[in-house]
Amino acid sequence: MATNRNFRTCPSTGLLFHEPAEKLMRWNAVVGVVCLLIGGLLAIGVVLTRWQAVHWLTPDRFYQVLTAHGINMLVFWIIFFEMAVLYFASSTLLRTRLATPRMAWAGFWLMVLGAVMNNYAVLRGDSSVMFTAYAPMGAHPIFYLGLILFAVGALIGCFVFLGTLVVAKSEQTYRGSIPLVTFGALTACIIAIFTIASGAIILIPTFLWSVGLVPQIDSLMYKTIFWAFGHSSQQINVAAHVSVWYAIAAIVFGAKPMSEKVSRTAFFLYILFLQLASAHHLLADPGLTSHWKIFNTSYAMYLAVLASMVHGLTVPGAIEVAQRKKGFTNGLFEWLRKAPWGNPVFSGMFISLIGFGFLGGISGVIMGVEQINLIIHNTIYVPGHFHATVVIGTTLAFMSLTYFLIPVLFRKELAFPGIAKWQPYVFGLGMSGVALFLMGAGTLGVPRRHWDISFAGNPFAYEYPGAAWLMMALGSIAGLAAILGGGMYLLVTVYSVFLGKSIQTPGFQHVTARSNVAPRVAPSAPGAGQEAASIESSGHSAGFSAPGTFVMAMVFITAFALYYFVNWKYLSTVWPLK
Amino acid sequence: MAITPITERYWWKQPMDREEVIWILLSFVWCLFMFFMMPYWHVFGKQNLAHAAVKTSAESYMKKAEDGVAKWKVREETEQKIPVIAPPADADVYLVARLWSWWPILELEAGKTYKVHLMSMDWLHGFSLQPENINIQVHPGYDHAVTMTPTHKGTFSIICNEYCGVNHHTMISRIYVK
């Protein structure tokens, strides 16, 4: 079979796109954005129902909408977009052809089919079981089958990514070691394979149970293995969006990692330890020993937290070093003040970094402490936390990358640049409000996934403190702002891609030779242009080159420690338990 | 750059920046501290969960709960006549979680210790004690004994905080502490 070796060089960035890979990236990104649109519309229902003063949907509709919102956002939007990131980080960054594009298309269509089936099952109304679908609460078999097909499709995408690395190596399309961003994507891919295997181990028997072929699913076993899928899939996001941060730092500033060794070791720690976090969901459960809980919830002595703290320093540190080289050397923070805050690629990425670290990271570690989890488990603090990690962290990072991809990948001018400029602020700040207010309400005991915290008409009705009601209302208002920010993103991207003005490059034409073209080999001696940058791709002396970032890191660890002890103090006041 | 291959042969020999070294050491110490806080709290703290749970059947658990009601019932509440039981200190108290109620209601004494058992008859439920904000997962088939000591008098609510179907939000009960 002929191998398609058609490439296109992006005139503005010099990036090399393989024709089939480019098409796959576009389709995955577009379908991902469609899922984001669906999830975003559903978010309106969630927000306006949990705002008790509005209390819009009926209970059955609310639980149905919440189920669909969670799955479309947490699974479908993010993983479709991650497929595009994987193909970009392998084929484009390594300047190589994508391995087996036909298999990649098969994977893509399986994912589409799975997503449609799963949404159909929820739409039927008999599968309002939430993203977690805890057995023995059962959904329609199509619900599980959809998830399984989606996972198989994503698994194929992972192997296409790995195959592309092999092709690039054997066809010598690059020299030296793979770029840091590709290394991060490889980390995400390895975690994804673990995740999908865990998903198969639990979803296949659960599917068989739902059609009556397996007599019983043990609730504790389900929960333990499910979270090896459910939580690990969020760890794919962490590895992916940290890679996107590094990529944007390089794209916007030409920033080099402070030290390749440190950043790569941090990714390697993710591979070793990040998946232990399944335990975060089992800290308040019976039947597991404290030894098991402590070892797993802390990723074996918090080694994956260490890795995230390292990235939290090295990403802004790399930007600071690059900015200081450009002459922004006054004081501690001139480099940051004079950063391109009007460029959504940068502003979105930086809000994502800060929000993920300060809101998502700190709250995540604290609720993952075995004992502190007792005062947080299943309260609305949990959605507060993960809207900071998955939404501000992952989704906003992906949104900022899109602003880069629209001209480069889709060859369209960015429509409504004014809206695009403000979008990361509206979305990022709105979502920060959601995270903070929900965490506040959770601290006061408000449960998650709950239709009515007024318990209207119930003789035992519990009255939450007024502050809890206020937090829920403020969280909903912030949620509406975030939904507006999401709408702005959708308007800009959808309009640009489908109705926007094409970027015409004089003299540009596609080469149509389909086969028998020798593979491109990277030049043996680094020459001009592209390669000049890669000569000094890593580190420099053992100086103290990013003092501003170091000060921010000190602020971070102080906030972290203070909030950590506040929670222990709060825990020590509740009823003694043994 | 992070998006281009590294072409130096021995990039891993490049020295780290000083702030990287300081930050890694500081973070690592903090990570170790947080890790040892958890075993520390098992020894010196007062809020910990027991390891053990006993696998059992819904029938045998229900039987124990009914025995408790027969022995310690002091009154009934609401139109459903939900029994309120006042067990003696150190007693094994069996609390049943099921779609969509808790059974029976407990009446405890402040400062006394009770072994409260939690188990579900059907799906997963969440024991969430308000306004204390103690939250424990309740599984079917796993009898989970939690030794608890109410510290002050008042009327406390148990709400379900694990989604358990369309009437999940109606699943609420009480613990009276005298």
From chain A, the residues in CB contact with B58 under 8 A are: none
Q: Is B29 on the interface with A (CB under 8 A)?
A: no
**Cis preceding linkage at A136, omega within 30:** yes
Among the partner-chain residues A130, A134, A219, the one whose CB lies closest to the CB of B141 is: A219
CA A426 to chain centre: 19
Model confidence pLDDT, tens digit, residues A48-75: 999 999 999 999 999 999 999 999 999 9
Of A279, A573, A368, A266, whose CA–CA distance to B37 is shortest? A368
CATH code where residue B147 lies? 2.60.40.420
What pLDDT is stored for residue A512 in this prediction? 53
* pLDDT band at residue A521 using 50, 70 and 90 as cut-offs: low
Q: Which range of residues forms the domain containing residue B104?
A: 53-177
Predicted pLDDT at A503: 87
CA distance B66 to chain A (A): 22
The answer to whether B24 and A262 have CB atoms below 8 angstroms apart is yes
Residue of A nearest to B155 (CA): A462
- By Cβ distance, the residue of B20, B130, B150 closest to A462 is B130
Q: What is the distance between the alpha carbons of residues A478 and A484, in angstroms, rounded to a whole number?
A: 10
Question: Cβ A219–B41 below 8 Å, yes or no?
Answer: no
Report CB contact under 8 Å: B2, A249. yes
For A111, the enclosing helix (H) or strand (E) is: helix A101-124
pLDDT of residue A499: 94
Nearest to A479 by CA among A419, A438, A447: A438
Report in angstroms the alpha-carbon separations of A191 from A184, A233, A240, B74: 11, 8, 10, 56
The whole-angstrom separation of Cα A287 and Cα B55 is: 9
Answer yes or no: is pLDDT of A279 > 80. Answer: yes
Chain A residues with CB-CB distance to B104 below 8 A: none
Å from A1 to nearest chain B CA? Answer: 30
What distances in angstroms separate CA A212 from CA A121, A140, A198, A279, B28, one per listed residue?
17, 11, 22, 29, 50
Question: pLDDT class for A533, splitting at 50, 70, 90?
Answer: very low
The two three-digit tokens of residue A319, written as one number: 């930007």
With an 8 Å Cβ cutoff, are B6 and A63 in contact?
no
Q: How confident is the model at residue A203 (pLDDT cuts 50, 70, 90)?
A: very high
- Supply the DSSP symbol for B88: P
- A371/B50 touch (CB, cutoff 8 Å), yes or no: no
Residue B17 falls within a domain, yes or no? Answer: no
SS3 B78: coil
Q: Is the pLDDT of residue A524 over 90?
A: no
* B153 occurs within a structural domain: yes
The whole-angstrom separation of Cα B94 and Cα A25 is 56
The pLDDT of residue A482 is: 97
Query: Inter-chain contact A377–B135, Cβ cutoff 8 Å?
Result: yes
- Taking an 8 Å cut-off on Cβ atoms, the answer to whether B137 and A377 are in contact is yes
pLDDT at A516 over 70: no
CA distance to A177, A326, A327, A335, A363, per residue, from A330 (Å): 35, 12, 8, 8, 34
A204: left (phi over 0), alpha (psi -120 to 50) or beta: alpha
Cβ distance A288 to B6 less than 8 Å, yes or no, reads no
Asked if A371's CB is within 8 angstroms of B48's CB, the reply is yes
Question: Any CB–CB contact under 8 A between B70 and chain A?
Answer: no
A333, with CB counted inside 10 A (0-12, 13-18, 19+), is middle
Are A220 and B139 an interchain contact pair (Cβ–Cβ within 8 Å)? yes
Q: Is B1 on the interface with A (CB under 8 A)?
A: yes
Per-residue pLDDT at A513 exceeds 70: no
Count Cβ atoms within 10 A of the Cβ of residue B151 and give its class: 0-12 exposed, 13-18 middle, 19 or more buried.
middle
Residues A442-485: tens digit of each pLDDT = 999 999 999 999 999 899 999 999 999 999 999 999 999 999 99
Residue A526 has pLDDT above 50, yes or no: no
Using a pLDDT cut of 70, give the percent of chain A over it: 93
In whole angstroms, what is the distance from residue A534 CA to residue A128 CA? Answer: 51
Helix (H) or strand (E) holding A130: none
Number of domains comprising chain B? 1
Residue of chain B minimizing CA distance to A13: B3
Contact present, B17 and A317 (Cβ < 8 Å): yes
Contact B172, A461 (CB under 8 A): yes
Confidence of residue A510 (pLDDT cuts 50, 70, 90): low
Euclidean distance between CA atoms A306 and A272, whole angstroms: 12
Contact check, Cβ <8 Å, B18/A543: yes
Give A102's contacts (C-beta < 8 A, 6+ positions apart): none
CB contact under 8 A, B19 and A547: yes
- Domain membership flag for residue B8: no
Is the distance from CB of A501 to CB of A429 less than 8 angstroms? no
Is residue B27 domain-resident?
A: no
Cβ-based neighbours of A558, under 8 Å, separated by 6 or more:
none
The pLDDT confidence band at residue A509, using thresholds 50, 70 and 90, is: low
Q: Per-residue confidence at A5, pLDDT binned at 50, 70, 90?
A: confident
CA gap A3, A100 in Å, rounded? 9
Q: How far is CA A396 from its chain centroid? A: 8
Mutate to test the interface with B, among A62, A269, A408, A450 (most CBs of B within 10 A): A450
Q: Considering the domain boundaries, does residue B139 fall inside one?
A: yes
Q: Which two tokens stand for residue B124?
A: 């997963």
Query: Could you write out the DSSP letters of every residue in A184-217?
Result: HHHHHHHHHHHHHHHHHHHHHHHHHHHTTSSS--
Q: Which residues of B touch A553 (CB under 8 A)?
A: 19, 23
Asked whether the predicted pLDDT for residue A515 surpasses 70, the reply is: no
**pLDDT at position A538 over 70:** no
Cα separation values, A178 from A317, A319, A521, B16, B28, Å = 21, 21, 15, 20, 28
- B15–A557 CB contact, under 8 Å: no
Q: Do B7 and A537 touch (CB under 8 A)?
A: yes
| DSSP H helices in chain B | 18-44, 58-72
ipTM, 2 dp:
0.95
A515 DSSP 8-state letter: S
Mean pLDDT of A250-279: 92
Q: Which two tokens stand for residue B61?
A: 């658990």
Chain B contact set for A535 (CB, 8 A): 7-8
Choosing among B98, B120, B168, B169, which should be mutated to test the A contact, i.e. which has the most A CBs within 10 A? B169
What integer best gives the mean pLDDT of chain A?
A: 92
Q: Would you give the DSSP letter of residue A373?
A: G
Give tens-digit pLDDT for A309-322.
999 999 999 999 99
pLDDT at A177: 92
Q: Name the residue among A274, A565, A359, A290 with its Cα closest to residue B30.
A: A565
Q: Which pLDDT does position A532 carry in this prediction?
A: 38
| Closest partner CB to A374 (pick from B47, B77, B130) | B47
Give the three-state DSSP class for A41.
helix
- Reading chain B (178 residues) residue by residue, the pLDDT tens digits are 889 998 887 888 888 889 999 999 999 999 999 999 999 999 999 999 877 789 999 999 999 999 999 999 999 999 889 999 999 999 999 999 999 999 999 999 999 999 999 999 999 999 999 999 999 999 999 999 999 999 999 999 999 999 999 999 999 999 999 9
Phi-psi sector, A411: left (phi>0), alpha (psi -120 to 50), beta: left
pLDDT of residue A57: 96
pLDDT at A569 over 50: yes
pLDDT digits (tens, 9 = 90+) for A426-450: 999 999 999 999 999 999 999 999 9
Instruction: Kindly list the residues from chain B whose CB atom is less than 8 angstroms away from the CB atom of residue A285.
Output: 137, 139
Identify whether B41 is part of a domain: no
Could you say which of A286, A305, A546 has the minimum Cβ distance to residue B53?
A: A286
* Chain Cα centroid distance, residue A224: 22
**pTM for the whole structure:** 0.93
Closest Cβ opposite residue B31 in set A305, A369, A444: A305
pLDDT digits (tens, 9 = 90+) for A170-196: 999 998 899 999 999 999 999 999 999
Whether B35 maps to a domain, the answer reads no
